[in-house]
Amino acid sequence: MDKKNALRAGALAAGTTLMMLLMSSPALALTRDDGDDPGQGLSVIETLGLYVVAPIGLFVVIAGLVWVLDRSKDRGDTTSSNITVRGEAAKAG
């Protein structure tokens, strides 16, 4: 029974993949559509700036704003600072 289900799942996955590939073939067309007016391509520097540097910079700005504007007080665990370990108590006493 498990072998049958695995075969069925594999056939379904293969069929779905094949249908997706067949349906996406117009996306790979080399002819231009009516009204298609692409601009100039981006250089390597522009591409890296747009897709690497800009998101990292945006992340740093947002993280910095959150860090600076965080109004919460000390969020440390106050209970663990009151516990004295036996070894430390013997040294102190």
Phi-psi region of 55 (alpha: psi -120 to 50; beta: other; left: phi over 0): alpha
pTM, entire model: 0.45
Cβ within 8 Å of residue 92, ≥6 positions away: 84
pLDDT-above-70 percentage for the chain: 72
- Chain-centroid distance, C-alpha 42: 24
Task: Reply yes or no on whether the pLDDT at 13 is more than 80.
Answer: yes
What is the helix (H) or strand (E) element at residue 23, kind and residue range?
helix 2-23
Give pLDDT tens digits for 49-88. Answer: 999 999 999 999 999 999 888 877 766 656 666 667 676 5
The CA distance from 92 to 82, in Å, is: 15
Q: Answer with the residue of higher pLDDT: 56 or 25.
A: 56
